[in-house]
Every structure is written in C-alpha cells, then in structure tokens.
Structure 1
C-alpha cells in the first residue's frame, strides 16, 4: 500500500470519530480541531486485499490541544502494521486562533485517554 494511503485511512478514522461527536462543525460557534503535527511509523506491510482495523487513543490532553495515537492492524491481528500520531489544536472557526476545548469535547476525548507509557495498543 502506498504511504499516503495509510494517512488517508488514519485521517478518515479520526475525522469520522470527531464528526460523530460534533467536533468538526466548520460553521458553528465552537472551536474545531486542526492538525498541527502528524507522523507515521510503518511497522509491517499492508497490501490489497488486506482488511484493516484502526484503534485510536488520546495520549495527551492540554487546554487547547490533544494528541491522538492511532494504530492500524490487519483484521484479527494483534500486532500493529502502522502507528500514527496527530497533535491537534482547537481553533476558533472564524479566526483559526487557538481556543480552549469546550467541556463536552473534553469529556468525549477523555473516554479515549490511555497514558503514553501504557502497554495497551491503540
């Protein structure tokens, strides 16, 4: 699989989760999360027609930012094929200046919090 495809799959999983919780409403009054930094580690080959599963966790929560770590697994396997890290910053939708995360967003993100030094896979 071409490297950019990994990012597309990670981005889709992340955005679907955020959209389902109302965090990507571009025209609303609440802050939206934007990617400030992204990286990917390619650990094992994934190729067509592999079916993949993506797990996600929050490894850091700040006032206006958070870090997501996502793991890509071949369906039914325990070893990650790739891991991506996204640092997200909440910004005002009109000015794109950093803003604190609203309490209800923080509550949703808290459901995914697992410390970075945990042995649990994303």
Structure 2
C-alpha cells in the first residue's frame, strides 16, 4: 500500500459474506467509496459534514467505476483499501483502488473510478478547482500530464 497515499481499514463482518462463503462483490464498491471519500476529504473536494456541495455547488460525481476481483475474501479478515489519483484532466480525474489483507499484504482486488467535477445547480461539468488540483499533486507527490 505504499503507492496509495490514502488508506482505510475494514474488519470483515460475518454479514459481509454471501451464500457462496466469501465477501459479496458489491461490498468492494462500498470499500472503494469509503477510500474515495477519505481521499476527497483530504484534498478538500468534500467535507466530512457535507450533505451536498455548498457555495458554488461544485462537487464530485462518479462517471464510471470498475472492479477486478483477484481472489475471494473470507471471514475472518482485516483489510486495508487504498486510493490514489492516476490522472487529472480538465473536468475529471481518474482514481485507482486496491484491497489488501492488512496483515499479509495479499491483494484481493483492484478497481478504479472516473470522477467529474460538477456544478450541481445546472448539472454542468466544470474545471477541477485549482486548489483541489494542487492538493492532489501534493498528496500524490508527482507531476500530472
């Protein structure tokens, strides 16, 4: 997880399991979401108490998401989910996620999302705010194209 600047830990609950004896595939998207929100809080795109974008009404919206399941997760386990930004465009940025065992480092899944910055009042795409772009670049400590 050294390549992921934001991580969130999750203990597996018995209720996460499905009828096939492993964590249900939909659960991974919940983990990705939690890591994505933690990342966006860190770069100032959302605040923890925000229920909707305020002020100018500019905030993130998911344009696309995906997951690749590498091996099943079974109870008991403790996971760590990492998030990073791999690309910043004009009105969007691409995120990557990884799910690993918190103790052994075994990778269970990876995924991604394309996030668009949107003015919620009129549902129009807007440029990624300069301060958010700068914060992402600091968090990632690398230069984007």
TM-score calculated relative to the size of structure 2: 0.71
1:57-82 deviations in whole A, cap 9, x for unaligned?
11111011000001010113334210
Q: What is the CA distance between 1:20 and its match in structure 2?
A: 4.2
Q: In the alignment, which residue of structure 2 is the partner of 1:38?
A: 65
CA distance in 1, matches of 2:89, 2:69: 27
| Structure 1 contact 58–113 (Cα < 8 Å) conserved | no
| Structure 2 contact 39–83 (Cα < 8 Å) conserved | no
User: Which SS does the other structure have where 2:122 is aligned?
Assistant: coil
CA distance in 2, matches of 1:112, 1:20: 11
CA distance in 2, matches of 1:66, 1:72: 20
User: Which SS does the other structure have where 1:94 is aligned?
Assistant: coil
Give the greater-gyration-radius structure (CA).
2
2:127 to 89, 100, 103: 100
Aligned length: 115
Point out 4+ residue stretches in structure 1 off by more than 6 angstroms.
none
| Structure 1 contact 31–101 (Cα < 8 Å) conserved | no
Tell me if 1:112 matches 2:140.
yes
Q: In the alignment, which residue of structure 2 is the partner of 1:17?
A: 39
Question: Greater shift after overlay, 12-21 or 78-87?
Answer: 12-21
CA distance in 1, matches of 2:131, 2:103: 33
Identify unmatched segments of 5+ residues in structure 1.
116-122
CA distance in 1, matches of 2:24, 2:97: 18
Identify unmatched segments of 5+ residues in structure 2.
1-22
| Structure 2 contact 57–121 (Cα < 8 Å) conserved | no
Q: What is the CA distance between 1:31 and its match in structure 2?
A: 1.9
TM-score calculated relative to the size of structure 1: 0.83
Q: What is the CA distance between 1:97 and its match in structure 2?
A: 0.7
